[in-house]
Amino acid sequence: MKRSNTPTQHILIKANTRSDGESIEFAIIYLTESWKALIASRLKAIKQFKADDDFNCHSFWDASISYYNGPGTRELVKEILSPHDDWAYVTLPPETERTFQHPDNPLEAHQLLITTNGIAHFKAYGKHTNDEYWTEEFNLKKLFNK
């Protein structure tokens, strides 16, 4: 996996967990054309809330993401992301992705939370433990304008 200076179908993003039993270093967001169209419609739908100062964010059920852990993942994130970056486009060959380890506990209740300004982050929960998993925030508008 390598960082790309041009948009790709994969984004590596820093991720974390509140799990006592494991750590999460990153997630991969899958930027399919259908997901991009869905996000554009969601951004348009929540635009009407921009004037409401009490509006925090809208939560969507979404699973265009996979969380990963395992040996060497911290070093991989440091190699791809500079210290001030939270995410980057990456080239991700299928054989490389198969070497990554998923969390031990299956994840469910995947959410994508989006503010009226287009700032978003993903959340998920462990099926049997209710451990929380999340990504760093990212700007959807910047993501799609690159």
Type of residue numbered 139: N
Domain that holds residue 59: 2-145
With a cut of 70, say whether residue 146 has pLDDT above it.
no
Angstrom distance (rounded) from CA 86 to CA 26: 10
SS3 145: helix
Angstrom distance (rounded) from CA 47 to CA 81: 31
List pLDDT tens digits, range 95-124: 888 888 888 888 999 999 999 889 999 999
Distances (CA, A) of 13 to 41, 46, 47, 70, 111: 23, 24, 25, 16, 15
Domain total of the chain: 1
Q: What is the pTM of this model?
A: 0.91
Q: What residues contact 5, with CB distance under 8 A and at least 6 apart?
A: 89
List pLDDT tens digits, range 10-69: 999 999 998 888 889 999 999 999 999 999 999 998 888 888 888 888 899 988 999 998
